[in-house]
Structure 1
Amino acid sequence: MAKVIAVNAGSSSLKFQLFEMNDESVITSGVVERIGFEDAIFTIKYSGKKEVKTLPIKDHKVAVHLLLDTLIENKIVDSLEDIKGVGHRVVQGGAYYDKSVVINDQVVAHIDELKKLAPLHNPAHLTGYYAFKEAIPSAGAVAVFDTAFHQTLEPRCFIYPIPYKFYEEHNVRKYGAHGTSHYYVSQRAIDLLGNPEESKIIVAHLGAGGSLSAVKNGKSLNTSMGFTPLAGIMMGTRSGDLDPSVLDYLIEVVGMDMKELITMLNKESGLLGVSGVSSDFRDIQQAANEGNERAQLAIDIFYRRVIAYIGRYFVALGGVDAICFTAGIGENSAFARKGIIDLLTDAFGIVLDDDANENGSGERLITKPESKVKIYVIPTNEELVIARDTNRLLEL
C-alpha cells in the first residue's frame, strides 16, 4: 500500500497528515500558519517529536515546498515519489459533486467557478492543488468536498422560500458544510450501535465553527449551515441564524454598509459578540465562573441554539438513536456537553453518566444503560476520510 497525504489549504494556512495506508497509521502531521507573513509558523510532528519554526513564508507554494523539503531532510520519506496520492479538502463543491472525485481540468474549473460561494477557501484549495501537482507530478490528486455528504438533502430541505428563479438562475440554496466530519462521525456511531439496518443519528459538530446534522440510515437528511457557513447555530464569531430585517435596520439607522455587516456577522458576532470576552468557549466559561454576566448569557444562548436544532432534527428523524458530540467543544468540553444535555434530559429521557462525561477520554458512550437515547463523544477524523477516498479512487 502507498503513502497518501491529506491536505487542507485555508486562506492563510496549510494543514496536513501523511498516512501509511496499509494500516492507516499517521506518519507525520502538522500545519503551516500565517502564510503570507514574515512570522509564519511551521509545526510538524513525527516519530514522537514536535518541531516548531517561525519564518517568512510568502505563499502556499513556498509552504508546500517547505513541507516536502522537511519530509526528505528528516527522512520521514525516502523520496517524494513515495507519496502516491494527495487528497485535498475542498469546502464548496456546489451541486456538482455528491462524492469525492479524482481532480481533472473539469473539476478544477468547477472549484474555480464556485469560489463565489466560498471566496476565502476555494481559491486556497486550488493554490494548494497546483503547488503539490508541481512538486510531486507523479502523485494523483483527489478532491474531497465538505458539501458532498449533504447532497442527499431533498429540495424541501435545501430550497429557500424566496423567488424560485434565484435557485434556477443563481444556485441560491442550502449547501451545508462540515460534511466530511458529519459523515465520519455518523458512520462511527452506526458502527457503535452495532450496524443496524436503520438508524437515526444527530451529529453536533461544535467548535469555533459549528453545525448539526440529521442522519437517517447513513444519509444526511438536513443540516444547520446553509448557503454559506454563516447560517445555523451561534458559533465562535459567527452569528448563526438571524432575522434579515436586522441588516436593513442597521443599514438605515446605524449607517453600516453590507460589507461591514457581513464582516460583523462572520467575525465579530457569536460567542465573542455577546460575551465581549473571547470567541474561545474555554475563556468564556472561565469568565462566567468569575461572575461575568455577559459570558454566562453567551453560554445560555449557545446551548439553546444547539438544542433548538436537536429538537428540530428529532422531529424530522421521527426519533433518535444517538446524539454525537464532536469537534473542539464537542470533544473536549464536558461542561458544554452537560449543559446541553441537561436541557434535553426531560424531553428525551437521557440519563447522563457524569463520570464518563467528565473523566473519560477519546471515543466513548457517556450515558447510562437506562438512557432512552445514547450520547457519544466521537473525535472527528476528516483527514482519514480524505486519505481513504484518495486511496480508493486512485486504486493505490
Structure 2
Amino acid sequence: MLVLVINSGSSSLKYQVRDVEAGSVLTEGLIEEIGMGNGGEGDGEIIGPRDHAAALELVDAAIHRELGDLTLAAVGHRVVHGGERFSEPVLIDNEVTRAIERLNPLAPLHNPANVLGIRAISRKWPDMPQVAVFDTAFHRTLPEHAWRYAVPDDLYTNHGIRRYGFHGTSHEYVTHRAASVLGLPLEEFDGVIAHLGNGASVTAIQGGRSVDTSMGFTPLEGLVMGTRSGDLDPSILVFLGRAGWSMEDIDSLLNRQSGLRALAGNNDMRSVVEAAESRDARAAMALAVTSYRLAKYIGAYHVAVGGAQAVVFTAGIGENSHQFRELVAERLGALGVELDAGLNSQRSREPRVISSAASAIPVLVVPTDEERAIAEATAAVVTAASIAPPT
C-alpha cells in the first residue's frame, strides 16, 4: 500500500510517499513560499506557488517523475490539534474537515493550513481516501488531574481551556519502539520520552499511555525551545500588557523571539553547543537553563509514572546532540542515571541504549519517524474501512 503523507504549513507543504508494508520512503520533498506570489516570475526570480492547490500540482508532478504510474492508495495528513473530539486517526469527510476547522482558534498557526491541504487533495483527487492523524490524540488519555488548569470551570466548558499536549504522534511511535528495545509488553512500559527539536516536549508514559506532558493548551508551555520560552510566570504577560505591549507583540516575543534564540542569540542547538565549547558565556548559560528545565521535568515525570523504566531521547536534538544528552544526564544523578560515554557519543539511526551497566534507569536514544507513523495509521484506517483505492 502506497500512502502519501502530507504535512501542510501556512506557506509550505512537506510530503513523502511511503510503501507501508516495506516501511520504506519512495520519494519526498518540500514545497515552500506558498502564497508568496502568483506561481510565475517576478523581479527576475521564481515566485512560489500561489496556493496549496498549486503546490499540490508540483507534488503530483514530482511523484510521477520519480515513481511513474504507481497508484497511491490513500493520503495521510498530520493535523496538529484534534481538541477533545479526536482521540485516534479518522477517515476524513466533509464533517470531519469542518470539525478540524472549528478547532482553528486552538491552533491558529497550524489547523488552518492543515485544512488547506485536505481541501486541496479533495479537489484534485475527490475519490482518494484521506485520513487525519492528530498530534494531540495520544494525550487524550491524560487523567483530569493532569489536564486541568486551576482556573474557573467556565473557561474550560465555554472556551476549551485545558492542557492538550502535542507531538503525540512522535511520542506514541517512540513509546512502542522503546518498549520493544527493552523487551517489555507495551502495556507494562513506564517511561519518560523527551522529544527535543526546535519545538520540544516531554511525556510521562505509564502502561504505554500518556499520563502527563509538558506542552499544554498550546505548544508554548513546558521546555525551553528553539524560539519559544516554555514555562514562565503568567503575570509577566499582565505586566507587559500594562506596559503597552499588544497581544501580537507578546505572542511574537514568546513564540518567536525567546528560548535559545533569546538566551544564546541562536536557535540552532548545534551552533549553541559549538559556541559553548568555545567558551561563549551566553551559550553556556543557555545550555544550563535548557538542560536544567528538562531534568526537572524528567524528575517530576519519574514520580508521575511511579518509577520510570527508561528515559528516552528522540527528535533532532535528542537523537544527535550527545553533548546535550550528557548535560541532562549529569543533572539526573540523584535518580542513579549514568551514561556510557562511548555509547552516548556514537551516532546511529537505530534505537539503542546509551546508559552504563551501573545506571539505575536505562537511557535510550530512539529515532522518531512521524511520517512512518502517519502512513501506518492511515493504512490501518483505510483497511478497516475497506475502502478501495481510486483507479
TM-score (norm 1): 0.92
Deviates more, 1:304-313 or 1:359-368: 359-368
Please say if residues 225 and 232 of structure 1, whose CA atoms lie closer than 8 Å, have aligned partners that are also in contact: yes
2:238 maps to 248
CA distance in 1, matches of 2:294, 2:256: 20
1:268 maps to 257
1:70 maps to 62
Answering whether residue 42 of structure 2 is matched by residue 56 of structure 1, we say no
Please say if residues 320 and 347 of structure 2, whose CA atoms lie closer than 8 Å, have aligned partners that are also in contact: no
1:176 maps to 165
- Between the two proteins, the alignment pairs up a number of residues equal to 377
1:136-147 equivalent positions in 2, closer than 5 A: 136-147=125-136
Alpha-carbon displacement from aligned partner over 1:329-376 (angstroms, at most 9, x marks no partner): 1011011111111111x2121221111111231221101223211111
1:112 maps to 101
How far has the Cα of 1:307 moved from its partner? Answer: 0.7
Instruction: Give secondary structure in 1 for the equivalent of 2:204.
Output: strand
Alpha-carbon displacement from aligned partner over 1:205-259 (angstroms, at most 9, x marks no partner): 0110000000111110000000000101110000001101111222234x21222
1:26-41 equivalent positions in 2, closer than 5 A: 26-37=25-36
2:21 maps to 22
CA distance in 2, matches of 1:77, 1:326: 35
CA distance in 2, matches of 1:195, 1:321: 10
Deviating beyond 6 angstroms after TM superposition, the runs of 4 or more aligned structure 1 residues are none
1:329/1:216 Cα in 2 relative to 1: closer, same or farther (>3 Å)?
Answer: same
Compare the two structures and name the one with the higher strand fraction.
1
CA distance in 1, matches of 2:223, 2:338: 25
CA distance in 1, matches of 2:24, 2:212: 33
1:222 maps to 212
Out of 130, 135, 139, the residue aligned to residue 150 of structure 1 is 139
Gaps of at least 5 residues in structure 2 are: 40-44
CA distance in 2, matches of 1:315, 1:350: 15
1:44 maps to none
Gaps of at least 5 residues in structure 1 are: 41-52
Out of 290, 294, 297, the residue aligned to residue 306 of structure 1 is 294
CA distance in 1, matches of 2:363, 2:14: 30
How far has the Cα of 1:311 moved from its partner? Answer: 0.8
Alpha-carbon displacement from aligned partner over 1:181-227 (angstroms, at most 9, x marks no partner): 00000110111111235221100001100000001111100000000
% of aligned pairs identical? 42
CA distance in 1, matches of 2:237, 2:262: 16
Answering whether residue 152 of structure 2 is matched by residue 160 of structure 1, we say no
How far has the Cα of 1:151 moved from its partner? Answer: 0.2
Deviates more, 1:166-175 or 1:55-64: 55-64
1:83 maps to 72
CA distance in 2, matches of 1:19, 1:199: 29
1:179/1:54 Cα in 2 relative to 1: closer, same or farther (>3 Å)?
Answer: farther
Instruction: Give secondary structure in 2 for the equivalent of 1:83.
Output: coil
Please say if residues 39 and 54 of structure 1, whose CA atoms lie closer than 8 Å, have aligned partners that are also in contact: no
How far has the Cα of 1:55 moved from its partner? Answer: 5.2
Out of 296, 303, 322, the residue aligned to residue 310 of structure 2 is 322
2:199 maps to 209
2:328 maps to 340
Please say if residues 33 and 48 of structure 2, whose CA atoms lie closer than 8 Å, have aligned partners that are also in contact: no
> What amino acid maps onto 1:69 in structure 2?
A
Instruction: Give secondary structure in 1 for the equivalent of 2:331.
Output: helix
2:225 maps to 235
CA RMSD of aligned residues (A): 1.7
Please say if residues 38 and 50 of structure 2, whose CA atoms lie closer than 8 Å, have aligned partners that are also in contact: no
How far has the Cα of 1:291 moved from its partner? Answer: 2.4
Alpha-carbon displacement from aligned partner over 1:295-339 (angstroms, at most 9, x marks no partner): 211111000110111011011111111111011110110111111
Alpha-carbon displacement from aligned partner over 1:93-139 (angstroms, at most 9, x marks no partner): 00001100001122111100000011111111111111112222232
2:345 maps to 358
Answering whether residue 341 of structure 2 is matched by residue 349 of structure 1, we say no
Please say if residues 89 and 386 of structure 1, whose CA atoms lie closer than 8 Å, have aligned partners that are also in contact: yes
1:50 maps to none
Please say if residues 337 and 360 of structure 2, whose CA atoms lie closer than 8 Å, have aligned partners that are also in contact: yes
CA distance in 1, matches of 2:38, 2:277: 35
How far has the Cα of 1:54 moved from its partner? Answer: 6.6
> What amino acid maps onto 2:347 in structure 1?
G
Alpha-carbon displacement from aligned partner over 1:14-37 (angstroms, at most 9, x marks no partner): 111111223122111121122223
Please say if residues 27 and 66 of structure 2, whose CA atoms lie closer than 8 Å, have aligned partners that are also in contact: no
